[in-house]
């Protein structure tokens, strides 16, 4: 069947600099593939962008960043939405699908500081900013002598708060800094054994309505199978553990020799308990791999942590 190229394609996007970079990146790829198609971006402000005085875990979680974009898809004002995969809730509303995953950028967490080259250099009582319970729990486990303080806002806002002296250091996703041309702000990268990333961190996801098979075909050249297998394994683990912003949960997968190597972590928010495990499995069934690792983590003590938090 011949691929039908639409005359116009509209991308729903948040209006932060990083979100627009991501949407412009996808737009430019699509325009290169389909020069006759008019690819436009519909900028939108989401509730997640508006509520900056409370942590995500207290205001409703990651869905706050995608609901308005999904409404635009449902109403036909946009055809696709571009997200950072880690911002996409583990269970999509009925009628939506993730049609493609772009090649993954660096998935690691990054340390940013104007005065210190690494967390190990911070003195006792120094304040470290992060927006994530996952990062906070791992920080508290490894560096109990440091203070962890909430840090909300987009990447530019968080950097500005640090530059104003509110924090001695902050933790951000390396991918976002690199995509914005701010890689020079990174003082050091965390190895995944030091700070295991969030499910989907560093990978772009393109969402559309489930009844738009034409878009899946159109987006196929942008889809990276290895990234998709890894992110689906990570999301499968998180989904099986009822992963949300209220649970300090991390998951990171890589592919090697046709297999997916998935590492997972569940911690108590205070960092006193950290449960880790890993598993390898076929790339053909990444969600199943995630589910099996979830069973092992629950049995090792993650179930007790989850029960205490819910």
The residues carrying an active-site annotation are 87
Strand positions, DSSP E, 132-248: 147-150, 169-173, 186-189, 204-209
Nearest CA to 199 out of 158, 243, 136 is that of 243
> Which secondary-structure segment (H or E) carries 217?
helix 213-219
Q: Which of 284, 190, 176, 183 is nearest to 229 (CA)?
A: 284
Evaluate whether 95 touches 208 at the Cβ level (below 8 Å): no
Rounded Cα distance, 289 and 206, in Å? 23
Q: How far apart are CA 144 and CA 166, in angstroms?
A: 19
């Amino acid at each position: 069947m011949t691929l039908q190229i639409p005359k116009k394609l509209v991308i729903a996007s948040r209006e932060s600099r990083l979100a627009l970079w991501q949407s412009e990146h996808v737009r430019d790829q699509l325009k290169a593939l389909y020069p006759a198609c008019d690819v436009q971006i519909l900028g939108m402000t989401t509730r997640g962008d508006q509520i900056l005085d409370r942590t995500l875990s207290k205001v409703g979680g990651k869905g706050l960043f995608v609901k308005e974009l999904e409404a635009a898809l449902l109403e036909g004002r946009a055809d696709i939405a571009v997200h950072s995969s880690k911002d996409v809730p583990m269970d999509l509303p009925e009628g939506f699908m993730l049609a493609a995953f772009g090649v993954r950028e660096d998935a690691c967490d990054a340390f940013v500081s104007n005065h210190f080259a690494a967390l190990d250099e911070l003195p006792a009582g120094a304040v470290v900013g992060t927006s994530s319970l996952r990062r906070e729990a791992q920080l508290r486990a490894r560096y109990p002598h440091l203070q962890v303080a909430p840090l909300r806002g987009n990447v530019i806002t968080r950097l500005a708060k640090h530059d104003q002296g509110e924090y001695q250091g902050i933790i951000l996703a390396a991918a976002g800094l690199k995509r914005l041309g701010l890689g020079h702000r990174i003082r050091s990268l965390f190895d995944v054994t030091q700070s295991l990333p969030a499910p989907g961190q560093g990978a772009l996801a393109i969402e559309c309505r489930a009844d738009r098979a034409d878009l899946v075909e159109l987006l196929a050249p942008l889809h990276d199978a290895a990234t998709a297998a890894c992110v689906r394994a990570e999301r499968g683990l998180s989904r099986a553990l009822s992963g949300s912003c209220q649970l300090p949960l991390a998951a990171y997968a890589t592919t090697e020799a046709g297999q997916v190597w998935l590492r997972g972590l569940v911690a108590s928010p205070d960092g006193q308990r950290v449960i880790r495990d890993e598993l390898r499995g076929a790339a053909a069934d990444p969600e199943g791999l995630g589910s099996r690792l979830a069973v092992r983590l629950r049995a090792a003590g993650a179930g007790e942590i989850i029960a205490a938090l819910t």
